[in-house]
Structure 1
Amino acid sequence: MRFCYFLLPLLLLLVRPARAQRADTTIIRYTGQLTGQYTSGGVNRTLFATSHSVTLLRGLHFGAPVTGSFTFGKQEGRLREREWLLNTTPYYWKGRFRFYGIGGYERSNLRGIDNRYQIGAGPGWAIYTDSLNREVAVSNLIIREATYFQDGSRRTVARNSTRLKVAYTYRGFSLNSVTFYQPNLQNFDDYRVTQQSSLALRFTPRFAITSTYTYTFENRILEGKPRDNTNVTVGVSFSTK
């Protein structure tokens, strides 16, 4: 019994509580992912996709993630998909409240988009969050969007952008899902839906096998171009802490 009384203070000295992030701390996190798909038979298809994310966390209330992705795909030997996407969403948070800015750039051969630019801002709220980076959050931004199509036409609209974000981890598994619904503020029949989910099986703190599901739908696009597109890919990812 006396041994237990001696052991308890020793354990308290050895097991230190995790330190909270200081107000002057800067943290940089990086995640890179490489995925692909190959099918043959009825349709011969190859698809290559890579995405990268860098997040700057400054102090207790500021974050600035920058994400970029590139997709390249062929069907029956012909180029069908060549997509570029660059996006940044700097934000301020306090408790569960968030305030976001957004800046985006996109090119899409599949949808006939030469260049698309986005800028906007709006509030958000974390419905659930914990110390394991598990989160359910919503945000609602007003964005201004200018699109230059491959046929030479141009379109500028204001959109409402509603986002649902879900991040969940359990042991070696992690799920990240982001869904956007973006209607035109002048015509709600004109809208865009984007959904991306990634399931990862982590073998080490840095490396994981990933499976990614991506769906896009845009109901106003160039004639002859598909309104929606679905991709399911499998690959590997690398991340830093």
Structure 2
Amino acid sequence: MRRICIIAIGLCTMQLTGYTQFSDSVDYYINFAGTGNLNRTNTGTTYLLNNAMRFQVDKKKFSINSMASHVFGRNPNLKTNDDFLATLNLDILKAVQKFYYWGLAGYEKSFSLKVDNRFQAGAGVGFTFVDSPSANLELSDGFLFETTDLGIPDRTGRTSYQTVRNSLRLKFRFVIKEIFRFNGINFYQPAISDGRDYILKLNTNFSIRLYKWLNFTTSFNYNRQNITSTENLLMSYGLSLEKFF
């Protein structure tokens, strides 16, 4: 009888939140998340490691959010993921009114999506429909300039190009009785010159509080680059640890 041993490396998410009070109230937030899974059989080992760090500064009239993540995966035959993403986002007037402005700069390198280098920068507007401790719903739109180097030719035979994209973002968060949490950030980015050239990014998380610092968490991530017909799908689950001070 073939022996199959599947080991799941639980999610380990450490959240450190520090607050320093100035005349206009400045809040600092830092988050590190390490996730992964391992599948070992008599034919070999398959594993996936996903690490991400976030840092945020909030003031009354603006906030700065930065994020860096790296995903690495391999199966018995080949490497499946070696994906790096870093973004820097600025929101203006978001905390004082429903209508706000945003600016974004981002860099991406993805083995699974066949992207050697991608840089995006742009700005736009957003609207906050709901913003409370238990619920948040935002919709934003704008334009991004992009320069990209691909690892494989796209549908038109290009491996390097520049374009302008419309960037539509939906962000949400819901908390029920401080026990159940459901949140996500989703992007749809079609090129202005060619609607078939679009980028789709979906990120959704659901967690259940087991103790004041301990949660059971499930995550869903989907990314698609339509111009090269490449995509990846990541699903993970485990435990997350939180500490606020």
TM-score by length of 1: 0.81
What SS class does the counterpart of residue 119 from structure 2 fall into? strand
TM-score by length of 2: 0.80
Distance 1:65 1:96, change over 3 A: same
Q: Deviations over 1:114-133 (max 9, x none)?
A: 21111000000011111x16
Following superposition, the deviation at residue 150 of structure 1 comes to 3.0
Equivalent-residue separation in structure 1 for 2:83 and 2:214 (angstroms): 25
Which runs of no fewer than 5 residues in structure 2 stay unpaired?
1-20, 154-158
Whose Rg is larger?
A: 1
Following superposition, the deviation at residue 149 of structure 1 comes to 2.1
Following superposition, the deviation at residue 173 of structure 1 comes to 2.1
1:182 aligns with 2:189: yes
Distance 1:97 1:109, change over 3 A: same
Equivalent-residue separation in structure 1 for 2:214 and 2:117 (angstroms): 34
User: Does structure 1 conserve the Cα–Cα contact (< 8 Å) formed by 2:112 and 2:231?
Assistant: no
User: What is residue 156 of structure 2 aligned with on the other side?
Assistant: none
Following superposition, the deviation at residue 40 of structure 1 comes to 5.8
1:31 aligns with 2:37: no
Query: Which structure has greater strand proportion?
Result: 2
Alignment of 1:90-239 (within 5 A): 90-92=90-92, 93=94, 94-130=96-132, 132=133, 134-150=135-151, 153-170=159-176, 171-221=178-228, 227-239=230-242
What SS class does the counterpart of residue 48 from structure 2 fall into? strand
CA RMSD of aligned residues (A): 2.4
The one-letter code sitting in structure 1 at the alignment partner of 2:162 is T
What SS class does the counterpart of residue 220 from structure 1 fall into? coil
What SS class does the counterpart of residue 86 from structure 1 fall into? strand
User: Does structure 1 conserve the Cα–Cα contact (< 8 Å) formed by 2:33 and 2:51?
Assistant: yes
User: Does structure 2 conserve the Cα–Cα contact (< 8 Å) formed by 1:87 and 1:103?
Assistant: yes
Percent identical residues: 22
Q: Deviations over 1:142-201 (max 9, x none)?
A: 000111123693111100000001111122221211111110001112111110011122
The one-letter code sitting in structure 2 at the alignment partner of 1:139 is S
User: Does structure 1 conserve the Cα–Cα contact (< 8 Å) formed by 2:115 and 2:151?
Assistant: yes
Query: Which structure has greater helix proportion?
Result: 1
